[in-house]
Structure 1
Amino acid sequence: MFSKSNLLATLVGTVVMFFLGYLVWGIATVDFFSQHSLVDAMKDPPNLGLIAVGNLIAVFALSTLYSKWARGHHSLSQGFTYGAWIGVFMGVGMGLLQYGTMIWMDLTGHAVEAVLDIVFYGIIGAVIALVYQKTAVKE
């Protein structure tokens, strides 16, 4: 659980998740989601420290689960597939639960969020896999 590969993947994945998340949701899609949000629940300004800690914990969990899922075979495509399935869970599964229980966004917003989550977590999974691949013990 606290292997060199897992800790490095956690560190690199956290940095990528933080900055890619800011790029996607903090810059690129702000206008889109402001048009599809039914309730403005954003903090102004957001707590970047808590976001960073949340990313760290999330990526540690993702990296730890990836190490069990991959069983020693690491590739970018396998990592992307792993992350995309996490994105399906988060974006589609949790998104439909949120749409069914909360007044947060319209259906279009949730659908776009689902696609973004699949790609976003796919990239995070690929980054985790790349670090595992590069730090794997050579035989």
Structure 2
Amino acid sequence: MFSKTNLLATLVSAIVMFFLGYLIWGLATVNFFTEHTIVNSMKEVPDLGLIALANLIGTFIMSTLYSKWARGHHSLGQGFEFGALIGAFVGLSMGLLWYATANMMDLTAHVVEAILDIAFYGIIGICVALVYQKMAKKE
């Protein structure tokens, strides 16, 4: 669980997750989600330290699960598939639960969020798989 490969995959993926998340939700789609927000519960200034910690925790969990899921066979396609499944869980499953129980965003925003989550976590899965693939060659 605390192997060198797992910790390196966690670190690399957390850095990618932090900056890619900012590019997607902090820059590219901010206007779209503003237009489709029902109740704005966002902080004026987000806590970047907690976001970084959340990214580290999330990528540690993803990397640990990936190591068990991949069973020693690491490829970019497999990494994307793994991450996309995580994204589908977050975006589709949890997104529909949020839509059913809260007035945060309209349905259009939840659908777009699900698509973004699948792609976003797919890319993070690629990062995890890439580290595992490169580290496996050294061993």
Question: Does TM, scored on the shorter chain, surpass 0.5?
Answer: yes
1:44: how far off? Answer: 1.1
Whole-angstrom CA distance in 2 between matches of 1:138 and 1:120: 28
Establish whether residue 44 from structure 1 lines up as the match of residue 21 from structure 2.
Answer: no
1:137: how far off? Answer: 4.9
Whole-angstrom CA distance in 2 between matches of 1:49 and 1:43: 14
Q: Specify the alignment match of 1:87 in structure 2.
A: 87
Tell me the matched-pair count.
139
Secondary structure of 2:46's counterpart equals: coil
1:138: how far off? Answer: 4.9
- What RMSD, in angstroms, separates the aligned Cα atoms of the two structures? 0.9
Establish whether residue 101 from structure 1 lines up as the match of residue 132 from structure 2.
Answer: no
Whole-angstrom CA distance in 1 between matches of 2:31 and 2:63: 32
Q: Specify the alignment match of 2:73 in structure 1.
A: 73
Q: Specify the alignment match of 1:7 in structure 2.
A: 7
Using structure 2 for the length normalisation, give the TM-score: 0.98
Whole-angstrom CA distance in 2 between matches of 1:39 and 1:50: 23
Q: Any idea what the Cα deviations from partners look like across 1:22-70, whole Å, max 9, x if unmatched?
A: 0000000000000001011111100000000000000000000000000
State the AA in 2 paired with 1:59.
Answer: T
State the AA in 2 paired with 1:52.
Answer: A
Q: Specify the alignment match of 2:34 in structure 1.
A: 34
State the AA in 2 paired with 1:78.
Answer: Q
Unmatched tracts of structure 2, length 5 or more:
none
Q: Specify the alignment match of 2:121 in structure 1.
A: 121
Using structure 1 for the length normalisation, give the TM-score: 0.98
1:83: how far off? Answer: 0.2
Q: Specify the alignment match of 1:54 in structure 2.
A: 54
Unmatched tracts of structure 1, length 5 or more:
none
What percentage of residue pairs aligned between the two structures are identical? Answer: 68
Whole-angstrom CA distance in 2 between matches of 1:107 and 1:44: 24
Establish whether residue 110 from structure 1 lines up as the match of residue 119 from structure 2.
Answer: no
Whole-angstrom CA distance in 2 between matches of 1:138 and 1:34: 47
Whole-angstrom CA distance in 2 between matches of 1:134 and 1:4: 12
Secondary structure of 1:80's counterpart equals: helix
Please identify runs of 4+ aligned residues in structure 1 that moved more than 4 A.
none
Secondary structure of 1:61's counterpart equals: helix
Whole-angstrom CA distance in 1 between matches of 2:39 and 2:16: 28
